[in-house]
Amino acid sequence: MRKKVLFICIFIAICIIIGIAYNFYNYYAPPGLRQPYSIDAIPDDTLRIAFIGDSWAFMHKDHECMIPQLLQDSLHRPVKVHSYGVCGLTSKEIYENIFDNSDFKQFLFKRRCEYCYVSAGINDTYKKMSISYYQLSMDGIIQFLLSNHIHPIIQEIPDYDIYTSFDRQKASRKILRRLSMIINNMPLDCKQLFRDALDELIYKKKYSDKVSIIRYKSWNGDGDQDLDHLYRSDGLHLNDNGYAVLDKAITKEILNLITTEHNIESPLESDASHHR
């Protein structure tokens, strides 16, 4: 009887250990790339832009977006911007949501866009995931968009307050982050490592003429001053001023892409020359 009880206890312990190890592996493992599905184009003259990703995309939908008006004034065609994000998602989870989240898929089908702004990777730095985790996830997102003839505009990791964001977490979360830092050999402030990783991915996969990157210094390069003016008190999420500045950076990039593609003078440059 004692042997039977001991055997059952050992078996249960082994099952628990295997379960923990499996969840542990899944948490840190990069995604497996999937076969992209097709999204049909919408046959009209409207320029559609999607903003997808994490909480930055989720909160963008509540912001009075400036992009449509700025682009319509320059392009003289209808412009619509639609946002869909899920708070807390890492780059891997965003990629998996493209396939597994029915609401996300419906958004992509109904809002079939020409340009897609992707906010991904902030939570990777927040949760101290690995560089390979980030690169493979971003590669999957990029491949999905390119396969549907959608131009990806990737957000470089912004200069958010990573120290305050860490300090505001619960003690149990801090322990997990410290463990992740050890496992992934990651410093507390890992933002630049992820920026470099994105550049490495773009170079290795020869995406430079297919993918745009919004550099953080183009709109968020003033350090503490930006934290006061562009971010909420948590130092992690943008306020209305922050979204307005980001909207202008996105608008400028899309205008540059359109004018380059059609070999015409940028409306921004034209306006500047008229004022000389």
pLDDT means per 10 residues, the chain with 276 residues, are 73 77 81 94 90 97 92 92 97 97 93 95 98 98 97 98 95 95 97 98 96 96 92 96 96 93 56 43
CA separation for the pair 259, 79 (Å, rounded): 16
Domain ranges of the chain: 48-274
Instruction: Tell me the C-alpha distance between 258 and 254, whole Å.
Output: 6
pLDDT at 100: 96
Residue 195 buriedness (CB in 10 A; 0-12 / 13-18 / 19+): buried
For residues 205 and 221, give the distance between their C-alpha atoms in angstroms, rounded to a whole number. 27
Task: Spell out the alpha helix ranges (H) of 102-212.
Answer: 102-110, 122-127, 131-147, 162-167, 171-183, 191-204
CATH homologous superfamily for the domain 48-274: SGNH hydrolase (3.40.50.1110)
- Hey, what are 206's tokens? 């020869």
Q: Is the dihedral of CA 139, 144, 145, 147 positive or negative?
A: positive
